Amino acid sequence: MHSFKHKNYKILSWLPHDQILNFYKKSSISVVCSRWQEPFGRTAMESAAFGCATITSDRGGLKETFKTNLILNKLNPSSLEKIIKKIIVDKKKLKLIQYENFKNVIHEIDFLIDKMDKLKKNFLQKKINYIRNKNLKILHIGNFDEKNDHRLFNISIANKISKGFIRNSHDTINFSYRDFNSKFLIKNNNILNDKIYNIVENYKPDLLVLGHNNILSSNTIQKVKSKFKSKFALWYEDHLIKGGPNAQNNLNLIEKNEELIDQYFVTTHPDPIKTKIPKKKMNFMPIPADENIENLEIYNDNNRFKDLFFALSHGVNYGKLKNKNIDDREIFLNDLIEKNSKFTFNILGYAGEQPKWNYQFYKEIAKCKMALNLSRGKAMKYYSSNRIASLVANGIMTFIDEKVAYSDFFDTNEMGFYKNVEDLLNQIDKLHGNINKINQISRNGKKRYFSIFNNLIVADYIVNKTFNIKNKYKYIWE
């Protein structure tokens, strides 16, 4: 607060706006010298419009409020005194500045209202969609594991694909359908369809992705496609070929609404799948890796004391071993253990050893030098459980059945390929004691996995195939 007194110096308290405008009318000069980045400066605009010679600081939007700016070189009293004296002494210049400010108002209310009315009219006449072409709006309907408190975050394909969409600059929202009680869903599927349709009405997505499910009714899909011109893609990670567990049920599930779904993405090579879905719609999709999830470098850990790691579970959502459950992988494991006399194994989910999840899972693989990727059912081209990303992309040397044909993507300096139990034990024996060789294969495998199967590439592939647009990355599996 200034302490000096003068007959022409008055400090006013708060006043209504119309009284402020009257002071502008009586004044020759106004000073608006904000120290902060003034976003607009209504005081500067109003005082200039009422014919004041307006002095401002060079902050934010003050320079945009009128044309004849009198800008302080430095924001201090001497600089302000200098510019005020200059225009008071030169009365002709002062009057010219006042006149130009009064006659050349930039932000005329009539002009601004007319502009806003035209914009409003244009919006009403046209269909609005704020994100188009390169950047899509995507509604991903899947299992995002809130129900299990994200116990499965490190193996969730749904989460990895959504993160891939987002990192590829697509706006993405997730709907976790399994958060609804399963019994409630069976009896009230219309409620679920209505809820998703309401989301679509609000969000107007370009693409709906059904993640490991086919829960929408044909009526809902038809309404969405008709009204919003949205595309539909479906990805699925379980067996679809005879010889795999529940293969026919899985196939029946994805074939529903096949005439309405634009593209399918499955974790098995499509060629041997016998389905009524047109082959041009069927695409192989690898298990994606995410740099923030598969972030281990196991090859750098010098405290590994187990030779081989394997993890088995009887359904990831159940989370525990199921009593009297028969799993064909146990036959392979029994044979492996029976024929082994030399190596130490760390096997989870077997012989009463409960499976472990997320960071407990990471602690267990970090104890081991090598790992086994063994999926349920008959070995099929390109089919693998989602744990392959948790192994290879975390930097542990991984063995996989050669019939899975991952040798199409990796060489023997990046992954191990075995024919049977005896061959697997023989290959382990050749590497046993050569930790440098094991670590080099592990390092190469991780690097290779991220270069060809990371979630940005997989997410881009889904968009590229569904919309038939130019791909951003190379898809090695095509």
pLDDT digits (tens, 9 = 90+) for 153-178: 888 999 999 999 999 999 999 999 88
Q: How confident is residue 471, by pLDDT bands cut at 50, 70 and 90? A: confident
Q: What is the pLDDT of residue 130?
A: 47
Beta pairing class for 397-401 and 137-142: unpaired
On the question of pLDDT at 111 being above 80, the answer is: no
Q: What is the mean pLDDT of residues 105-126?
A: 72
User: For the segment 331-385, what is each residue's pLDDT rounded down to a tens digit?
Assistant: 999 999 999 999 999 999 887 778 788 899 999 999 999 999 999 888 999 999 9
Q: Is residue 467 part of a domain?
A: no
Distance of CA 53 to the CA centre of its chain: 53
- Write the CB contacts of 17 (distance below 8 Å, at least 6 apart in sequence): none
Which of 116 and 455 is assigned the larger pLDDT? Answer: 455
Domain final position from 260, 284, 308: 284
Residue ranges in 130-240 assigned as alpha helix (H)? 157-167, 182-187, 189-203, 218-228
Q: Which of 347, 312, 308, 307 is nearest to 328 (CA)?
A: 312
User: For the segment 258-311, what is each residue's pLDDT rounded down to a tens digit?
Assistant: 999 999 999 999 999 999 999 999 999 999 999 999 999 999 988 899 999 999
Q: Is residue 462 part of a domain?
A: no
Q: How confident is residue 125, by pLDDT bands cut at 50, 70 and 90? A: low
Domain final position from 284, 311, 343: 284
In this structure, the answer to whether residues 277 and 314 fall within a common structural domain is no
Q: Is residue 6 part of a domain?
A: no
Q: How far apart are CA 336 and CA 185, in angstroms?
A: 43
Q: Is residue 1 part of a domain?
A: no
Q: What is the mean pLDDT of residues 302-331?
A: 79
On the question of pLDDT at 4 being above 70, the answer is: no
In this structure, the answer to whether residues 142 and 255 fall within a common structural domain is yes
Q: Is residue 126 part of a domain?
A: no
In this structure, the answer to whether residues 168 and 256 fall within a common structural domain is yes
On the question of pLDDT at 69 being above 80, the answer is: no
In this structure, the answer to whether residues 321 and 428 fall within a common structural domain is yes
Q: How confident is residue 137, by pLDDT bands cut at 50, 70 and 90? A: very high
Q: What is the pLDDT of residue 87?
A: 85
User: For the segment 410-461, what is each residue's pLDDT rounded down to a tens digit?
Assistant: 999 999 999 999 999 999 999 999 999 999 999 999 999 999 999 999 999 9
In this structure, the answer to whether residues 37 and 176 fall within a common structural domain is no
Range of the domain at 361: 298-453
Q: Is residue 290 part of a domain?
A: no
Contact 375, 247 (CB under 8 A): no
Q: How far apart are CA 129 and CA 138, in angstroms?
A: 13
Domain final position from 49, 76, 111: 111
In this structure, the answer to whether residues 91 and 176 fall within a common structural domain is no
In this structure, the answer to whether residues 278 and 147 fall within a common structural domain is yes
- Residue 95 belongs to a domain with what CATH number? 3.40.50.2000
The two tokens of residue 62 are 């003050």
In the three-class reduction of DSSP (H, G, I as helix; E, B as strand; rest coil), residue 99 is classed as: helix
- C-alpha distance from residue 455 to each of 157, 406, 473 (Å): 9, 18, 11
Q: What is the total count of domains within the chain?
A: 3
* CA geometry: angle 161, 166, 172, nearest 5 deg: 85
Average pLDDT, the chain: 88
Q: Token match 């007959």: residue? A: 7
Q: Is residue 118 part of a domain?
A: no
In this structure, the answer to whether residues 430 and 305 fall within a common structural domain is yes
Give the side-chain half-sphere CA count within 13 A for 206.
18
Q: 0.85 cut: is pTM over it?
A: no
In this structure, the answer to whether residues 72 and 26 fall within a common structural domain is yes
Q: Is residue 292 part of a domain?
A: no
Q: What is the pLDDT of residue 318?
A: 60
In this structure, the answer to whether residues 311 and 275 fall within a common structural domain is no
User: For the segment 18-38, what is each residue's pLDDT rounded down to a tens digit?
Assistant: 888 888 888 888 888 887 777
**Lowest model confidence (mean pLDDT) among 37-41, 82-86, 206-210, 218-222:** 37-41
In this structure, the answer to whether residues 449 and 353 fall within a common structural domain is yes
In this structure, the answer to whether residues 191 and 235 fall within a common structural domain is yes
On the question of pLDDT at 136 being above 90, the answer is: yes
Q: How confident is residue 131, by pLDDT bands cut at 50, 70 and 90? A: very low
